[in-house]
Structures are given as C-alpha cells and as structure tokens.
C-alpha cells in the first residue's frame, strides 16, 4: 500500500503558486466520494467517459483543459510561424543563411533578446506547466478516491501487473521529464498527468489521439518477422501502455508485455487496459534489464524511448532487445528523427532544439543525437534496415532482425 500523504512533495510548490486553481475543490471532492460510495463501483468516472477517454473530474478542470489545448494549438501554429519568420529575418540581417546551421552560442546570441521569439518560447513552457498543474490537481485533490481506484485494479484482470517499488532505479530515470512534477517515477499520478497532457501534445501537432488513434496506427505499421509467427510481444518503455494495448488489439492471440520503470505509469496503464477488457501484462522494470528469458519474444517495440535515456542506456537497450528476441525475431524501435529539430535545419531549428533541451527537461537530447542506431544495432547482432516512420513526420526507425 502506498503512503498517500507523502507522495506529492514535488508538486506542492506548484500548487501554491496558482492558488486560484484550487477554489472550491474540497467541496467537489466530497461530492465525488459520495457518488462513488453510492455506486459501489471501483471504476471512478465522476463525469462519465467519451469512448476510451474518461472525462476530467470537474467541469472546471475540463474547461481549463480545453482552453489550454486551444492555447497550445495556437502557439504551435500561428505564433510559431510568426516567430519562425522573425527568426529567419534576423538571421538574414546577420548575413547568414537561415537554412544552414551555426554554432549554438552564435544562435542564442541572435535570438535571446527578441520579444516575439521569447514570447513563443514562454507560451510553450508555461502552457505545459499550467496543463500539468491542472491535471495534477484534478486527481490529487481527491487523493484517497483516485489512489483507491488504482489499488482496486492492481490485482484484477484481464492482464497482470507486477510492481517493483524497491527496485534500484538509475538516477537518469528520476528527473522531471517534460517538466512533469515528480517525473515518471516520483508522483503517484504520473500516468494521469502524462495521459491527459499528451492528448494536447498530439492535437497541437494536428493529430488526434484521444481514442489512442495514433498508437493504433503505430501498432498497425509494426513489421512482422519473415516467418509471420507472432506469439509474444514486448513493448519497452511502454509508459501508460497505449502502444502495448494497440499491439494486443492487432495481435489478439499473442501474449503482450509492457515494461516501464515508472510504477505509477504502469499502474495507470494496467487500469486502462482492464477497463477496455484488453489482456496486456505490465511490469515495472528497466528496458535494459527486463529479466525475461533469452530468445523469448517474436517482436520487441518501443516508441519515443531512446531520446529520453542516456546514450549508453540506449546501447544497453539494443543489447537487451537482441537477447530476449528469438532468432528471426524483429526489433522495431521508433523515435524522433535527429536530422534537424522537427525534421528541419538552420538556426531557428537549432534554437528550438536547445530550448527543448534546456527548458523542457529533454536532458539527453544531445546524447541521443550522437547515437548511431544502425551501427549499434548491428554491433549486438541485428540485421538492420532503415525505414521511414509512416505516421510521425519527424521520426524514423530502424528495423532489426535477430540473426539466426
């Protein structure tokens, strides 16, 4: 049982910074508990669901989410286009080519005092911070109810959940990735914040994922081993299990496992999978040390894992994927393309990349850019083919087949 009263230190300071967000929440929490107790159901859906997506607990929280999502879409469209034009004009005024990279110190010196470029950056950072706060408070203000919901799901199926709260977690797993309070391992509501926060992330890039549509497309594009046999699948760094569930839906007769270092992430993912009636097994553990047997899986996947871990950890993941795959099995990692930020090149792209690394806690981005996927995968025993990512306009993946 988790200690419910000591889980939220990482986010407490944020909560005091914007006190207007919490007005009236205690009364709402009491109403929520009364509704749950009356229904006798461990599935907490105070305001129902829209398909797979449970609505936020209050209309106020949903309204803030709608506003912040629109704000982030506007920032990523009109404001970003205006900032890009301004940046390109500044580069030209310095006698440089806006499509050719420059030393990063020279780039930051060009842009750091421009108000429009600075405003676009602040809109990105603070829009995300407010969103995290909104989602955290939506659930943490009613701690007992929502932790009780996850506890009720921990030992029910379909599918299984194995938590390892005493596991040795490397330091790299503990930072607050994407500025998410507590990161993926240090906040009991990490899964909730990640799920609702990334919905806006996808929409700001003009992709729907409120019903896991994007992950369904990713699963449908996973290649098969040449012999077509798919009995077991492992999703490394599975987060809240959206790709894991989509893989099970594509391969209903396969045994699907998701491994993720963040216990709160897999707890939330297991709860969602059970709600959807999808038989996926989740384990809290490291992608580079899964403890599965040798030659066990037919397919190993990951999505957006490698750019969130150090360079050496990526190489360790390659080796682990090769170990647990059977001969002829397929390794299918997908991640962000490193040939220029967002698939582009030039000073403003460099500046956006630097801001994302510096202010959005993409700690290992520059290490990730140094990883030679093809060479490192070949080194551990894969035959490698590079394929362009079909659904993510700034991604690529390298399909590796384990040698016989």
What percent of the chain shows pLDDT beyond 90? 76
Q: 214 and 334 in contact (C-beta within 8 Å)?
A: no
| Residue 262 clears pLDDT 60, i.e. is over it | yes
CA angle centred on 166, ends 324 and 334, rounded to 5°: 40
In 3D space, the residue among 271, 198, 199, 202 whose CA is nearest the CA of residue 241 turns out to be 271
More confident residue, 310 or 26: 310
More confident residue, 131 or 204: 131
pLDDT at 37: 43
pTM (predicted TM-score)? 0.87
| Residue 208 clears pLDDT 90, i.e. is over it | no
CA dihedral of residues 369, 372, 377, 383 (deg, nearest 10): 130
pLDDT-derived band at 343 (thresholds 50, 70, 90) equals low
Please give the structure tokens belonging to residue 3: 């200690």
pLDDT-derived band at 340 (thresholds 50, 70, 90) equals low
| Residue 366 clears pLDDT 80, i.e. is over it | yes
CATH architecture of the domain 210-339+364-402 equals 3-Layer(aba) Sandwich (3.40)
The residue-averaged pLDDT of 357-380 equals 91
pLDDT in tens, 230-261: 999 999 999 999 999 999 999 999 999 999 99
pLDDT at 339: 57
In 3D space, the residue among 45, 3, 74, 226 whose CA is nearest the CA of residue 139 turns out to be 45
pLDDT at 207: 81
Could you tell me the CA-to-CA distances from 175 to 186, 309, 317 in Å, in that order? 9, 11, 19
Please give the structure tokens belonging to residue 281: 């097994």
pLDDT-derived band at 104 (thresholds 50, 70, 90) equals very high
- Domain spans of the chain? 210-339+364-402
| Residue 313 clears pLDDT 90, i.e. is over it | yes
* Sequential DSSP letters for 237-264: T-TTSHHHHHHHHHSTTSEEEEEES-HH
pLDDT at 97: 97
pLDDT at 398: 76
pLDDT in tens, 32-79: 444 434 444 678 898 999 999 999 999 999 999 999 999 999 999 999
In 3D space, the residue among 174, 223, 197 whose CA is nearest the CA of residue 363 turns out to be 174
The residue-averaged pLDDT of 341-348 equals 74
pLDDT-derived band at 369 (thresholds 50, 70, 90) equals confident
pLDDT at 35: 43
pLDDT at 101: 93
The residue-averaged pLDDT of 208-227 equals 92
pLDDT in tens, 69-92: 999 999 999 999 999 999 999 999
**What are the φ/ψ torsions at residue 114 (nearest 5 degrees)?**
-85, 130
| Rounded Cα gap, residues 381 and 372, in angstroms | 15
Which segment of 22-26, 94-98, 156-160, 351-355 scores lowest on mean pLDDT?
A: 22-26
pLDDT in tens, 109-139: 999 999 999 999 999 999 999 999 999 999 9
Which segment of 6-10, 62-66, 95-99, 368-372 scores lowest on mean pLDDT?
A: 6-10
pLDDT at 269: 98
| Residue 28 clears pLDDT 50, i.e. is over it | no
Q: Please, what is the average pLDDT of the chain?
A: 86
Per-residue b/e over 35-60, b at no fewer than 16 CB within 10 Å? ebeeeeeeebebeeeeeeebebbbeb
């Amino acid at each position: 049982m988790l200690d419910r009263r000591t889980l939220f230190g990482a986010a407490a300071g944020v909560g005091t910074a914007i006190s207007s967000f919490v007005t009236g929440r205690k009364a709402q929490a009491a109403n929520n508990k009364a509704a749950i107790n009356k229904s006798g159901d461990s599935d907490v859906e105070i305001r129902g669901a829209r398909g797979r997506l449970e609505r936020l607990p209050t209309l106020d929280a949903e309204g803030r989410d709608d506003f912040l999502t629109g704000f982030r879409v506007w920032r990523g469209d009109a404001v970003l286009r205006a900032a890009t034009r301004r940046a390109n004009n500044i580069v030209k005024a310095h006698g440089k080519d806006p499509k050719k990279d420059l030393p990063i110190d020279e780039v930051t010196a060009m842009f750091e005092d421009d108000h429009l470029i600075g405003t676009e950056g602040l809109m990105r950072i603070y829009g995300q911070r407010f969103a995290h706060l909104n989602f955290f408070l939506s659930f943490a203000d009613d701690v007992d109810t929502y932790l009780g919901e996850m506890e009720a799901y921990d030992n029910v199926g379909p599918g299984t959940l194995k938590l390892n709260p005493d596991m040795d977690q490397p330091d790299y797993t503990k930072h607050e990735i994407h500025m998410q309070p507590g990161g993926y391992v240090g906040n009991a509501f990490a899964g909730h914040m990640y799920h609702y926060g990334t919905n806006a992330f996808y929409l700001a890039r003009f992709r729907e994922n409120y019903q896991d549509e994007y992950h369904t497309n990713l699963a449908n594009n996973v290649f098969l081993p040449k012999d077509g046999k798919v009995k077991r699948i492992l999703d490394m760094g599975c987060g809240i299990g959206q790709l894991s569930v989509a893989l099970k839906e594509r391969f209903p007769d396969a045994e699907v496992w998701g491994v993720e270092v963040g216990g709160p992430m897999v707890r939330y993912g297991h709860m969602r999978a059970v709600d959807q009636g999808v038989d996926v097994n989740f384990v809290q553990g490291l992608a580079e040390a899964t403890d599965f047997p040798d030659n066990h899986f037919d397919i190993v996947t990951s999505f957006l894992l490698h750019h969130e871990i150090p360079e050496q950890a990526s190489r360790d993941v390659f080796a682990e994927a090769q170990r647990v795959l059977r001969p002829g099995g397929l390794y299918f990692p997908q991640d962000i393309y490193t040939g220029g930020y967002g698939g582009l090149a030039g000073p403003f792209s460099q500046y956006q990349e630097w801001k994302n690394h510096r202010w959005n806690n993409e700690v290992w981005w520059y290490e990730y850019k140094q990883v030679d996927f093809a060479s490192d995968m070949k080194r551990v025993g894969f035959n490698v083919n590079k394929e362009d990512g079909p659904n993510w306009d700034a991604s690529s993946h390298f399909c590796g087949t384990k040698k016989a």
